[in-house]
Structure 1
Amino acid sequence: MDQTIEAIFEIFSWVGIGLGALLLGLALILYLADGTWLPVRAVIDEVEGGRVARWHDDEVGGVNEAILTAEQDAGIGDADMADLFYRRGVRGRVRLTPGSPVVRGVVRLGGGLFALGVVAMIASLILLFARG
């Protein structure tokens, strides 16, 4: 029975550390590809197709605007102004959070797997030394 438990811990340690490190590397690539998002105070206006956010952007030269998605519109509510994040140097891109939800999810999954692998490795070493 002890060998079965040791084998399970060994498998969890290799898989956890390996996949965790791979996912954390992927999260770094996704973070770099996501680009720079800057905070901005935007004015929310009603237009024919829905609602639009407008803000002053020195990099693109003047006023930048983005049509709000249904999710963004629901997150803002009925406010006339909102604190948003826009992609630096790009027209028409805005979101409600400074970081990408995809990057956050991959970091959490990779970190969890890596932590599982480390805990399994420590437990495996404890069993190895306890057995003698």
Structure 2
Amino acid sequence: MSNVVDVVIELFTWVGLGVGLLLAIVAMIVYVADGTWVPVRAVVEDVDDHRVVRWFDEHGGVNEAPLSPHEDARIGDADMADIFARRGSRHRMRLTRSSPHVRFLTLLATGVLSLGALAFVLSIVLLFTRG
């Protein structure tokens, strides 16, 4: 039975650390590819059958982006909203500073790396307690 436990712990160690490191690298690449998002104050306006937000960028240009139904529900009936606009892009905005994809990948990498580290520590403890 102890051989099976050793194999399972070894498997969790190598897979946890290897996959966790790979996920952390992917999260970093996605973070860099996501770009820079700056906070701006936007005006919410009704246009035909949907709502849009308009804001000024750092160069004085006027930018516009349509609101998705989810974003429209979060903003509600407000005339102004605090949003985050992508630097260098005229029509990209979101309501949160960080990307949900980056946050998910970071949490997943942290969890898998933690599992690998815990299995590694457990294997070391079992090595010295059996000897």
Fold conserved between structures, TM > 0.5 = yes
TM-score by length of 1: 0.96
Question: 1:69 deviation in Å?
Answer: 1.1
SS at match of 1:22: helix
Q: Which runs of 5+ in 1 are unaligned?
A: none
Question: 1:62 deviation in Å?
Answer: 2.2
Match of 1:92 in 2: 91
Match of 1:56 in 2: 56
Question: 1:85 deviation in Å?
Answer: 0.3
Matched, 1:118 2:117: yes
TM-score by length of 2: 0.96
Q: How does 1:58-77 map to 2 (within 5 A)?
A: 58-59=58-59, 61-77=60-76
Question: 1:56 deviation in Å?
Answer: 1.2
Match of 1:5 in 2: 5
* RMSD after superposition: 0.9
Structure 1 stretches (4+) deviating beyond 3 angstroms? none
Match of 1:39 in 2: 39
What is the percentage of aligned positions where both structures have the same residue?
53
Question: 1:58 deviation in Å?
Answer: 2.9
SS at match of 1:65: strand
Q: Which runs of 5+ in 2 are unaligned?
A: none
Matched, 1:19 2:19: yes
Q: What amino acid is aligned across from residue 124 of structure 2 in structure 1?
A: L
Aligned length: 131
Q: What amino acid is aligned across from residue 2 of structure 2 in structure 1?
A: D
Per-residue CA deviation, residues 54-74 of structure 1 (Å, 9 max, x unaligned), is 111133x42111111111111
Match of 1:109 in 2: 108
